[in-house]
Amino acid sequence: MFYDEAKIYVKAGDGGDGCVAFRREKYVPLGGPAGGDGGKGGDVILYVDPHLNTLYRFSRQVHFRATRGEHGRGKNQHGATGAGLRVPVPPGAIIYDADTADLLGDLTGPGQELVAARGGRGGRGNARFASSTNQAPRIAEHGEPGQERWLRLELKLLADVGLVGMPNAGKSTLLAATTSARPKIADYPFTTLEPNLGVVVLDPGTEFVLADLPGLIEGASEGKGLGHEFLRHVERTRVLIHLLDGLSPDPLADFAAIIRELATFGHGLAEKPQLVALNKMDNPEVRARWPQVQAALEAQGYLAMAISALAKEGTRELLYRAAQMLAELPKEVVAREIPILRPAEDEGAFTVQREDDRWRVRGVRVERMAAMTVWNLDEAVRRFQRALERMGITAALEEAGVQPGDTVRIGERELVWEEE
């Protein structure tokens, strides 16, 4: 089975907790606060591994978690940063946010990487809260939770030349005859159920990657047959070899049908340079019809050639012509990560809603503060309450009708509303 789609869960490391500590050395009077900060959580990074060619590993492992940062300690010792997790993906992997469908990155070449989930920052220790008016603070923060999300991975094969055509046109036979690839070959349609890659070496200075793509049929762009599943792999190829079945009742009609499907699918497939080859010239019937097919194709502006993949006749000339077409194309620009343009998020924004028997406060900043507050420290709780007042959340709850004894949920924390 060819694994070209996957869904994975990534979780960056949480930040380490800050520490509440004081210096108590014998000869250091009024030593003051000495609690260190927690370390930052590790990131989850996807990077290109050129030795991979499918998403198979993600069928066996779905969850990927980085290490959390270490907690701060006394004597102003800060926690170590958590170890990041690097996850290899094959060239041609496209990464989407599974929930929002946002495109996060398109990884095509060695050296490219994407931070899929960022680690949380470490919580501050009490040494960071010292001031002229509070010289012995008993307050610290929990580490910020690391990002977590579900990702959808999609693979588009990276090949220089792609073989397209109707089922049973002989694409797998041509691939096997010209490369060391060994695809399944049989005399019935849809023998190829997954793309196959092979490296064509014509001479020491001429080589390219050839992809045998599963047979297309009329209606492939609408999901018929196998074409809809694999048409996207054609997008990465730079030149197409359109193979015609010489024993088909009407090779020209087959050719026209595939051209329509490529145009309907879009993404520039119909505009790619095409080299058309009539296969199975070892058959006398095909040899007889070749002049008519050649004239019709050249009248449409296509370069037509005749081959027999089984007998290896004309295959070398065909591949040399494909290599020449590749050389004539402008050098391919390395794909860069596509930026996602969206309005900047206001972290201070919040909403207050009634949900069943409780109130729900949502907002990036307030939920982060709730997660980082150490609730068994009175100073930390008072600091959180002052922050609610400054942000206008207290007034918004009162205006919405909150009553003493009501439960207010902020992030994962549930609080009980009390009047002072």
In angstroms, the CA 398 to CA 380 distance is 23
Residues of the chain with pLDDT > 90, as a percent, come to: 43
342 pLDDT tier (thresholds 50, 70, 90): low
Examine the pLDDT at 363 and tell me if it is beyond 60.
yes
Q: Residue range 278-299: average pLDDT?
A: 91
Question: What residues does 277 pair with on adjacent strands?
Answer: 243, 305
H helices, E strands: number in the chain? 9, 18
Amino acid at 298: E
pLDDT in tens, 91-144: 888 899 999 888 898 888 888 899 999 999 999 999 999 998 888 899 999 999
Query: What class does CATH assign to 1-155?
Result: mainly beta
Give CA–CA dist 178/193, Å, rounded: 20
- Cα 233 to chain centroid distance, Å, stands at 16
| Residue 171: predicted pLDDT | 79
| Mode of pairing for the β-strands spanning 93-97 and 103-107 | antiparallel
Mean residue pLDDT across the chain: 83
The DSSP-derived string for 39-58 is PPPPPEEEEE-TT--S-THH
Instruction: Read off the tokens for 187.
Output: 């005399």
CB 38 within 8 A of CB 17: yes
Which pTM was predicted? 0.69
Superfamily assignment of 161-328 in CATH? P-loop containing nucleotide triphosphate hydrolases (3.40.50.300)
Position 21 scores a pLDDT of 94
pLDDT at position 158 is 64
What whole-number distance in Å separates Cα of residue 114 and Cα of residue 42?
A: 14
Per-residue confidence (pLDDT) for residue 140, from 0 to 100: 95
Domain ranges of the chain: 1-155, 161-328, 351-416
pLDDT score of 407: 93
| Residue matched to tokens 């890659």 | 197
CB 79 within 8 A of CB 91: no
72 and 18 Cβ atoms separated by less than 8 Å = yes
Position 231 pLDDT exceeds 50 = yes
With a pLDDT cut of 70, the percent of the chain lying above it is 85
Separation of alpha carbons 234 and 259, rounded Å:
13
Model confidence pLDDT, tens digit, residues 389-404: 999 999 999 999 999 9
pLDDT for 193: 44
For 162-218, write each residue's pLDDT tens digit: 888 887 778 778 888 877 655 444 443 444 445 666 777 888 778 777 877 765 544
Asked if 12 and 117 count as a contact pair (C-beta separation under 8 A), the reply is yes
DSSP tag of 186? -
Distance (Å, whole) CA 148 – CA 151: 10
351-416 falls under which CATH superfamily? GTP-binding protein OBG, C-terminal domain (3.30.300.350)
Tokens of 175: 């691939």
**Which tens digit of pLDDT belongs to each residue from 37-55?**
999 999 999 999 988 877 8
pLDDT in tens, 238-282: 888 888 988 888 999 988 888 887 788 766 777 888 899 999 999
In whole angstroms, what is the distance from residue 242 CA to residue 99 CA? Answer: 38
Q: Tens digits of per-residue pLDDT, 79-92? A: 999 999 999 998 88
User: Under a CB-based contact definition with an 8 Å cutoff, are residues 263 and 225 in contact?
Assistant: no
At residue 345 the predicted structure's pLDDT band, cuts being 50, 70 and 90, is low
Query: How far apart (Å, rounded) are the C-alpha atoms in residues 169 and 120?
Result: 55
Q: Is 79 exposed, middle or buried (0-12, 13-18, 19+ CB in 10 A)?
A: buried
Distance CA 177, CA 277 (A): 15
Query: Rg of the Cα trace of the chain?
Result: 31
Contacts of 289 (CB under 8 A, 6+ apart): 246, 251
For the record, the structure tokens of 157 come out as 């094969």
DSSP symbol at 165: -
The pLDDT value given to residue 344: 54
- C-beta of residue 170 within 8 angstroms of C-beta of residue 309: yes
Is the pLDDT higher at 75 or at 54?
A: 75
Kind plus residue range of the DSSP H or E element containing 410: strand 407-410
Q: Return d(Cα 229, Cα 226) in angstroms, integer.
A: 6
